[in-house]
Amino acid sequence: MTIIAASTSVQLYARASKYREYLESLDDEVASISATTIANALNFYEVSVRKDLAQISDGNGKPKVGYNRVGLLADVKKFLGYDKHNRAVIVGAGHLGTALMSYKKFANYGLEIAAGFDVSPQKIGSEVNGKKILAASEIADMCRQLGVSIGIITVNAENAQDVCDELIRGGVSGIWNFAPVTLKIPEHIAVKNEDLAASLSMLTNSMDLNSEQLTEE
């Protein structure tokens, strides 16, 4: 199992993603953009941005001018892997699974949601955002058939491991896990865990930090 959080810079990807958002928000008339401007817009440290851009778009920056908007955006997208195409399935057609199936922007990131899976007879056969919900018993077979490379898990903690095993049996090489469990996964499969509880903790703890600072004044 490749534990992503430990091996890759989470922060760098987060920043790169924000660079993309920002660059796409700019007017077409903007020809070039500097690290300074980006840093100010996104509240990042200027030198960090410059280093990131040097890594992402090496050698394309010009003194006094900055980076070509279009070129930099292309480089950022490439860095983020948006040039590659991946076919995915979502297992668990609950609220979250439905939300992800309905999210139109995944296509821009090279992610194609091919189908959903669920165990509920009411849901099987229905469609969400034009995509069929299939029986969970078919996961492995359908993944092979459709050439799916990413499995997205939005079932509850109890069933996540079983679903994961089926997805791997179906030949996926990456797992995007929204269930609050640590999955047991073979070495060659990549996993990215989402953890809303951890996010919430970061938020509430920094709120307290802020209020402490206020009362100290």
Q: How far apart are CA 156 and CA 102, in angstroms?
A: 20
Closest CA to 8 of 92, 83, 104, 79: 79
- Does 76 bind DNA (CB under 7 A)? Our answer is no
Burial of 181 (0-12, 13-18, 19+ CB in 10 A): middle
Residue of 19, 20, 23, 66 interacting with DNA (CB under 7 A): 66
- Does 175 bind DNA (CB under 7 A)? Our answer is no
* Window contacting DNA (CB under 7 A); options: 3-11, 76-84, 93-101, 136-144: 3-11
- Does 19 bind DNA (CB under 7 A)? Our answer is no
Token representation of residue 10 = 């989470």
Binders of DNA among residues 80 to 109 (CB under 7 A) are none
Token representation of residue 210 = 């802020």
Answer positive or negative: Cα dihedral of 103, 2, 183, 149.
positive
Residue of 16, 19, 23, 61 interacting with DNA (CB under 7 A): 61
Helices (H), the chain: 4-7, 10-25, 35-42, 46-56, 69-80, 95-102, 139-146, 157-169, 196-216
Q: Which does 161 bind (CB under 5 to 8 A by kind): a copy of itself, DNA, none?
A: none
Which is nearer to DNA, 68 or 159 (by Cβ)? 68
Q: Which does 62 bind (CB under 5 to 8 A by kind): a copy of itself, DNA, none?
A: DNA
Q: Which does 67 bind (CB under 5 to 8 A by kind): a copy of itself, DNA, none?
A: DNA
Q: What is the DSSP letter of 62?
A: B
Binding site for DNA (CB under 7 A): 6, 8-9, 11-12, 34-37, 45, 47-48, 50-51, 53-54, 58-67
